[in-house]
Amino acid sequence: MIALYVRGTSVIHRMPAGRKVLTFMALTLAITLVARSAWALPIVFAFVVGGYLLAGLRVRDLLRQVVVVRWVMLVMLLAQLVFLPPLVAVANTGRVLAVIVLAALITLTTRIPELLDATERALAPLRRFGVNPASVGLLLAMTITAIPVIAGFAASIREAQRARGVPLRVGTFVVPLLVMSLKHSDDLADALIARGVE
């Protein structure tokens, strides 16, 4: 799963959570601005692999993150191929995949409570403007943990379709994925409301 912490003593493990998040934001911006063509993707992914190796993780750990989101990435790629040239669609999907794998690197090397604490500390000065740091931290945690949940839905749908001999089509794949995701969000909202979370 994409959000599981892996123990370690690497430089990335020891880096404070707030600094990691800021570094991730800077890298995401750089990937978005620099890797605008499919030809730049090998450089981006070489950098991502280097990050995993620096964290003391294996290439297998990185590939596991890719496998978890493979169906989400496939849907994204197919949807873009309808409207965009192939190289542009590949570049866009590759950038998103690189950012997701980098986000996984943060969650693999940082405990979720540390991420939440760092977020709440960073947003504390905005409390006077009506921002609730605890709510933002909770939103961040739910966003991080939603990635493997939705990816799991996608894998379950595809496995069920494969067992029935249903060929992969965007329509027959996306609609069940949306239904399951929306039902999950409704259940999550009901659970939060039942616990008094606004």
Contact status, residue 27 vs residue 102, Cβ threshold 8 Å: yes
Q: Is residue 2 over pLDDT 50? A: no
Distances (CA, A) of 43 to 35, 37, 89, 113, 186: 9, 11, 18, 32, 40
* Mean pLDDT estimate for the chain: 82
CA–CA separation, 123 and 131 (whole Å): 8
Mean pLDDT over 123-135 rounds to 82
149-173 residue pLDDT tens: 887 888 888 888 888 887 777 777 8
Query: For position 122, what pLDDT does the model report?
Result: 80
Q: Is residue 137 over pLDDT 70? A: yes
CA–CA separation, 119 and 21 (whole Å): 9
Q: Enter the pTM of the model.
A: 0.66
